[in-house]
Amino acid sequence: MKISRRLALVASLLLAAGFSTLPARAQSYPGSALQTVYSSDRIMNAVTTTDTGRVFMSFPYWGGGGSGPTVGELLPDGSMRPFPDASWNDWEHSHDALTSFVRVNAIRIGPDGLLWVVDSGEANVGGKPNPANGAAPKLVAFDPATGRPVHLIVLRQGITRFSYVDDLRFHNNTLILTDAGDPGLILVDLRDGHQRRVLAHQPCVTDERPMRAEGQILMTGNREARIHADQLEVSPDGETLYFQPSSGPMSKIATADLENKTLTDAQLNARVKPFYDTPTTGGTAIDRDGNLYVSDVDHLRILKITPEGQGSTFIADPRLVWGDALWITDKGALWIPAIQLNRTATFQHDGVSRVKLPVSIYAIDAHLKPSRRY
């Protein structure tokens, strides 16, 4: 089959599955349910979509692969438009941390329909303290329709000198964030902006075992890598938070307990329960039935874990090298950015990247039901 005909066939399949906004750059893996829906020579670390089909991506500062926006909107022709504009994506020149992105680590459309951006600021991970006068981490929520910021929350109360604010989920008026640099969770009250830190240095948020990817222990230089509180999901009924360090295991706690300001950290930790002995994980998602989808970066697969804690292989594929920031679209497809984090220079003994370009987002049309709590 000629390349043009093959791309046309893949494009028709993607259109039928609800991928109409994505360019088709497909690879053929016989027997695999995965479709390649986007490829790039720049490493992306998150993808999120609106219910109207708009697609947003973020590109980490460590990704390399040429120039381009930190946060972009993927247009139907395959081009990437800076979102909300070029100015917000020009930290290098503006150095205005309140009106530009510094180091974006996560993006997602929230249950409020806004595009939330987690900006880690000038933070280090697992090394020396963050610069005292560096740009602070922040949350910015944009109206996708206008591109205007609706919320701008600078994170100062809930962080430490070693914090690396990692990811975000929502529960009513509470924003829940993970700290991958200095283990803990950060809670932000959206009504008044109050921030507090919980479960600091407790085992449930601390990476205490080797991280493994593609059969190798993850190293930074001559020491084992540590990524603390990282993945988190809120159950569809809003009653439970699932969370873990990147190395696993996954724990759970009632959101009512988490948000109870009268509990001490020791009392709160006593209410944390083990949920599932997850492997080293790059990203997660949860569907409306409460099933969790967890990337196993060691065995290049996605696990499905039921609310009762029963796990099984959802899909395995050799292309799923460090599945990160999983996303369930309104059409029921699971999107999997395979960002090859473990192959980047940071995790190589000689500091030389072994990423095999292009980096791709894959999708499986699984007819899932997205959870609107995200």
pLDDT tens readout for residues 283-304? 999 999 999 999 999 999 999 9
Q: What is the pLDDT of residue 121?
A: 95
Cβ pair 211, 250 in contact under 8 A:
no
The percent of residues above 90 in pLDDT, for the chain, comes to 82
Strand order in the sheet with 301-305: 281-286, 292-296, 301-305, 311-316
DSSP notation for 28-55 = --TT---EEEEEESSPP-EEEE-TTS-E
Distance CA 345, CA 13 (A): 36
Q: What integer best gives the mean pLDDT of the chain?
A: 90
Distance CA 89, CA 69 (A): 6
Q: Is residue 43 part of a domain?
A: yes
> Please, what's the b/e burial string for 282-293 (b: 16 or more CB within 10 A of its CB; e: otherwise)?
bbbbbbeebbbb
Q: Flag whether pLDDT at 30 surpasses 70.
A: no
Q: Is residue 370 part of a domain?
A: no
Q: Is residue 293 part of a domain?
A: yes
Rg (the chain; Cα; Å):
19
Q: What is the pLDDT of residue 260?
A: 97
Q: What is the pLDDT of residue 372?
A: 76
Q: Flag whether pLDDT at 31 surpasses 80.
A: no
Q: What is the pLDDT of residue 23?
A: 37
Q: What is the pLDDT of residue 127?
A: 72
Mean pLDDT of 205-221: 95
Mean pLDDT of 348-352: 87
Mean pLDDT of 220-240: 95
Mean pLDDT of 239-258: 98
Q: Is residue 371 part of a domain?
A: no
Q: What is the domain range of residue 139?
A: 3-365
Total number of domains constituting the chain = 1
Mean pLDDT of 343-355: 91
Look at the block and give the residue holding tokens 């569809």.
Answer: 236
Cβ pair 218, 245 in contact under 8 A:
no
Q: Is residue 192 part of a domain?
A: yes
CATH code where residue 49 lies: 2.120.10.30
Q: Is residue 294 part of a domain?
A: yes
Comparing 322 with 64, which gets the higher pLDDT? 322
Instruction: Output the CA torsion 32→359→107→125 (10° steps).
Output: 120
Query: Which residues are 174's β-sheet partners?
Result: 171, 189
Q: Is residue 97 part of a domain?
A: yes
Q: Flag whether pLDDT at 276 surpasses 80.
A: yes
Report the predicted TM-score, pTM, of the whole model to 2 decimal places: 0.91
Q: Is residue 373 part of a domain?
A: no
Q: What is the pLDDT of residue 221?
A: 83
Residue 89 backbone dihedrals phi, psi, to 5 degrees? -100, 25
Distance CA 148, CA 150 (A): 6
Residue 336 backbone dihedrals phi, psi, to 5 degrees? -130, 100
pLDDT in tens, 102-147: 999 999 999 999 999 999 999 887 678 898 889 999 999 999 999 9
Q: What is the pLDDT of residue 351?
A: 86
Mean pLDDT of 52-71: 88
pLDDT in tens, 5-22: 333 333 333 433 344 333
Q: What is the pLDDT of residue 65?
A: 65
